Amino acid sequence: MEYILISGATGGLGKALTESCPKNSNLFLLGRDKERLSAFKKELESSGRFGEIITFQADLTKEEERSALFEFADEKSVRFCALLNVAGADIRKPFKDYTDEKLLFQIRLNAEAAIALSLGVIKRRGKELKILAVSSMCGIMPMPYFAVYSATKAAVLNFFTALYYEEKDVGVTVLVPGSIPTREDIKEDIKRQGITAKLSSKSPEFVSKKAMKALYKNKRLKVPGLYNKINYFLQKIIPTPIKCRFMARRWKKNIKDAF
């Protein structure tokens, strides 16, 4: 049987993307919290919209747990028709304040896990395969005090853009959203940042619908929202020193580590 594999399935955007999957799809949900996975599975089953639903608890930053995931999939003779790479961590603080553990956690979750999952899925693809990779508006420019996050999201943007042109028979879409109010700390961030953050902010339901539509239309890139589209274009032409000084002032007093 063919399944849609969704990482970070129990998070705000992960849930919205899962619920936006085509009707009668078989789902393979990944998450770190077994209880949340179980509760979400029951919720989806009660809706009657989907086919078979499999859950698998895994810390995707660990190579051995990713290996266990695919060993489990092989035992079940699972093939994949789509991968929604959602799992990520948005730590924001001065680089010197990182521990080695937090540094590797963010790099491995945001970049390594997304790329490794894609390789595993491509090797176990069904008749067709589509991959959605979640980058960020933060990934289109360097961001002081958000340096690791912006760098990892830039890696996601660049890798999956390259994969789009490399794997001609795999549909690859990179999602580049602005702020998505999925957690209380993000909602507070949006309030503190003022009008620009409010203009950039889109609900997880809005973003997921735009993302899935782009994925099934084989679009290379999706930037949800008019303001974000304009911002995406402007970041291509604004000189880097100006962008970095502006972002340094914005983020210097807004430290956050919710992971």
The pLDDT tens digits along the chain (259 residues) read 999 999 999 999 999 999 999 999 999 999 999 999 999 999 999 999 999 999 999 999 999 999 999 999 999 999 999 999 999 999 999 999 999 999 999 999 999 999 999 999 999 999 999 999 999 999 999 999 999 999 999 999 999 999 999 999 999 999 999 988 877 777 777 777 778 778 888 999 999 999 999 999 999 999 999 999 999 999 989 999 999 998 898 888 778 787 7
Q: Which secondary structure element, helix H or strand E, spans residue 53, and what is its range?
A: strand 53-57
Give just the sign of the alpha carbon dihedral 37, 220, 235, 200. negative
pLDDT at 198: 82
Question: Could you tell me where the beta strands, DSSP code E, fall in 60-214?
Answer: 79-85, 125-134, 171-175
Task: Estimate to the nearest angstrom the gap between the alpha carbon of 194 and the chain centroid.
Answer: 24
Contact 108, 88 (CB under 8 A): no
Q: For residues 191 and 121, what is the distance between their CA atoms, to the nearest angstrom?
A: 39
Cα distance between residue 154 and residue 175, in whole Å: 12
Q: Which residues, including other chains, have CB under 8 Å from residue 242's CB and lie 6 or more apart? A: none
CA dist., res. 155 & res. 163, Å (int): 12
Q: By C-alpha distance, which of 188, 106, 177, 197 is closest to 146? A: 106
Give domain limits for the chain: 2-251
Alpha-carbon span 71 to 203, nearest angstrom: 35
DSSP letter for 130, please.
E
Q: What is the pLDDT of residue 258?
A: 72
Q: Give the chain's length.
A: 259
- Measured CA to CA, the distance from residue 44 to residue 50 in angstroms comes to 7
SS3 248: helix
Which secondary-structure segment (H or E) carries 30?
A: strand 27-31
By the 8 A CB rule, do 224 and 177 touch? yes
**Buried (b) or exposed (e) across 46-80, using 16+ Cβ within 10 A?**
eeeebeebbbbbbbbbeeebbeebbeebeeeebbb
The pLDDT value given to residue 57: 97
pLDDT (0 to 100) of residue 172: 98
Q: Report the predicted TM-score, pTM, of the whole model to 2 decimal places.
A: 0.93
| pLDDT value for 259 | 73
> Using CA atoms, how far apart are residues 147 and 6, in angstroms rounded to an integer?
26
The CATH number given to 2-251 is 3.40.50.720
